[in-house]
Chain A
Amino acid sequence: MTRDKGLRPVFLAAVLAALLVVLCLLSIALGALNIPLDQVVRALFGHPESTRVENVIWSVRIPRTALGLAAGAALGLSGALMQALTRNPLADPGVLGVSAGASFAIVLSVAVLGVGSVLGYIWFAFAGALVASVLVYLLGGLGRSGQTPVKLALAGVAVTSLVTSLTSAIALTDPDALNRYRFWNAGSLADRDGGVVLQVLPFLIVGAVLALSSAPALNSLALGDDVAASLGRRLGLVRLQGVAAVTLLTGGAVVAIGPVVFVGLVVPHVARVLAQQAGIGPDHRWLLPLSAVLAPCLVLTADVIGRLVVRPSEIQAGVLVAFIGAPFFIALVRRRRLAEV
């Protein structure tokens, strides 16, 4: 990959931004009621064709698109961050136990408290995500050797498995909880009103700021703990900032749209290939934003297709993300040697 023959970084950014805008417009236009694009644009600028169109656009399509954008970006960002923090290309944003904690909290709130709506369990889920990730962070740092990437990842996997077992135990004995859980688990953007977006958005924004500002430190961390320390990075601080960002981003996204954490595992690999093509190399100042743009592209595409294939019913976005993302990912893996973390 020579610099002059590959894509230019700016060109790459422009193409991806344009793609994302087109996908957003499509996501607003298509669905059970198809709205022509010119009407969409007019409605967006305050001159709607009819009140019906205006209602559909402002109360259904735009919150849904915004949710896909926000949650997708959060998952992509936290995936790239997680792989950099653990220096493990197989880490996904769920490795810290965030999605397992959220699942457990949802099942528990349904089984014990009888909570029934998305808005009702959103805070329980977020609390579960937070508790799980703080637990993993503390457990990963105990012991004389202090925190190492492997310890953090293994502690996360152990807590995840512990919590998942408990979730299954409750779900097996309480049919209501299982019912709620299996629909959330498939991952969907449907039936989330504007309130859900607004509730998770502050967390996602804080998480994104934390994540993006840690990019230079992640570049040093990629060289190994010792080198990073000798370059003047305070490892504990970098990890704390990273874990906080992952928790906020993944927690917010998973609570809103379900545990679609695979997005965060796969998208950073695609971002690394693109970055390599553009002659940037594995620079986290580029990888993080690239992942944050690519992931919502995938989520929105899946959501739009899910609305169209079985109209007027829908297939959950979480399911279609896999069936669009995985073949693309496999083709990519086959085509080239993926750049390792």
Chain B
Amino acid sequence: MTPSPSVLTGSSRHTFRLAVPPVSGVLRPRLVAVCVTLAVGAFLVFCWGVAIGDYPVDLADVMKALAGSGDPGTLLVVRELRLPRAMVGLLAGVAFALSGALFQTMTRNPLASPDMIGIIEGAGTAVVAGIVLGWDGGLSTQALGLLGALATALLVYLLAWRRGTTGYRIVLVGIGVAWMCTSATDFLMARGGRFQAQAALGWLVGNLNGRDWAQVGPLAVTMAALVPAALLLGRWMRTLQLGDDLATGLGTPVQRVRLALLLVGVGLIAFATAAAGPVAFVALAAPQIAQRLAGTAWPPLVASGLTGALVVLSADLIARTLIPGTELPVGIVTGVLGAPVLLWLLIRANRAGSGG
């Protein structure tokens, strides 16, 4: 939790300054290398995921179809059937991981992932209520999830508001609200019939089965706005990590930055949960994995997002191929896949500073 200066973490860094255009900055070769590797990996897994299935497509044909050429049959399979699912996986992975990185940096606490503060739990309660009680009001599961998530986020913010708010208070109020939502979900699960309970659990572990473009649209639009915002906020996050007092001293508008971080984090997690369900563990694990891969003292945003995408896409690939003929929910595999990676990185960390 105490961030150690990046000088101590063993990664080399170079400062650079250009006269024209007037730009200066810090270049971290290891961070850049990690990002590039993750991006290439995520892209390959993405294409591979599109290629396999009941109607196998060559990787080369997949690339062609993605670019818009190829025979009509392949185009249909790739662009209408497989691409939406892969896109939801990709976007949701990035969104979960970015949101996790924002929350962990804002609260300086690796346990403060957005799965703890009620948003995901609210979505879960709304969806399970829809399944068990039939209170769906004609809305799709996705719309229910989104409504639940946003309503809970608003509730948490209002309850935490008292002449301004602090990150810590939001997290604690969020935990209280999450507790109520989880209990309501457990109650509904115990009350419902066994088939309803099974359907509810299928959603609650996070699932990419049967996704189409209707699910991709809202998520893509939201992310087009929120991801750049998150990256712009990144430079202030670095100073927030040093503590509120020091950050204010360095000229960071602490309250406004925190509100902005919160809005971006909540938006990302709400839309991602609505599209993919609460895919377990990505929001918490991906930033921590990225931080240890890149050898930085804070969760790096771009690398976190790419790690999230890689984890979700690989998990979905495994979920689809592990048992032939059965598509497991992706959330089951993200836990099984992400946990050993995080554990391995924890064990390998050679200094208390970079371990935490």
Contact = CB atoms under 8 A, between A and B. Distances in A.
Interface of A: 87-88, 90-91, 95, 139-140, 142-146, 148-151, 153-155, 157-159, 161-162, 164-166, 168-169, 171-172, 175, 178-179, 182-183, 185-187, 262, 265-266, 269, 315-316, 318-323, 325-327, 329-330, 333-334, 337-338, 340
B174 to A, nearest CB: 10
B176 A172 contact: no
B17 interface: no
B179 A262 contact: yes
Interface in B172-215: 172-173, 175-177, 179-180, 182-184, 186-187, 189-190, 194, 197-198, 201-202, 204-205
A83 B160 CA distance: 22
17 contacts: A88-B111, A143-B346, A143-B347, A143-B350, A148-B356, A154-B346, A165-B205, A165-B333, A168-B329, A172-B198, A182-B189, A182-B190, A266-B176, A319-B184, A330-B176, A338-B172, A340-B168
Interface string B268-283: 0000000000001100
Contacts of A340: 168
Given A150-B355, A165-B331, A315 B187 contact: yes
B177 A330 contact: yes
B118 to A, nearest CB: 10
A322 B343 contact: no
User: 3 smallest A-B Cβ distances: which pairs?
Assistant: A165-B335, A322-B183, A150-B356
A104 to B, nearest CB: 12
A334 B343 contact: no
Given A143-B346, A334-B173, A178 B336 contact: no
Given A161-B338, A162-B340, A334 B162 contact: yes
Contact of B346 (A155, A166, A183): A155
A318 B176 contact: no
Contact of A168 (B162, B173, B332): B332
B242 interface: no
Given A91-B111, A179-B194, A150 B1 contact: yes
**Size bracket, chain B contacts:** 35 or more
Contacts, number: 186
Contact of B349 (A143, A149, A187): A143
Given A153-B111, A334-B173, A158 B189 contact: no
Given A90-B111, A319-B184, A323-B180, A162 B171 contact: no
B52 interface: no
A325 B179 contact: yes
B78 to A, nearest CB: 29
A168 B331 contact: yes
A184 B189 CA distance: 11
A225 B284 CA distance: 25
Contact of B355 (A95, A151, A164, A169): A151
A166 B169 contact: no
B189 A90 contact: no
A175 to B, nearest CB: 5
A90 B162 CA distance: 22
A310 to B, nearest CB: 11
Given A168-B205, A169-B328, A175-B198, A185 B189 contact: yes
Contacts of B189: 182, 185-186
Given A90-B111, A165-B205, A266 B175 contact: yes
Given A90-B171, A151-B356, A153-B111, A323 B350 contact: no
Given A178-B197, A319-B184, A326-B179, 12 more contacts: A88-B111, A142-B347, A143-B355, A148-B352, A150-B1, A161-B285, A166-B332, A182-B189, A186-B189, A327-B176, A330-B159, A333-B176
Contacts of A329: 172, 175-176, 179
A75 to B, nearest CB: 13
Interface in B133-191: 159-160, 162, 168-169, 171-173, 175-177, 179-180, 182-184, 186-187, 189-190
A144 B347 CA distance: 8
Contacts of A323: 180, 183
A168 B189 CA distance: 13
Contacts of B349: 143, 145, 151
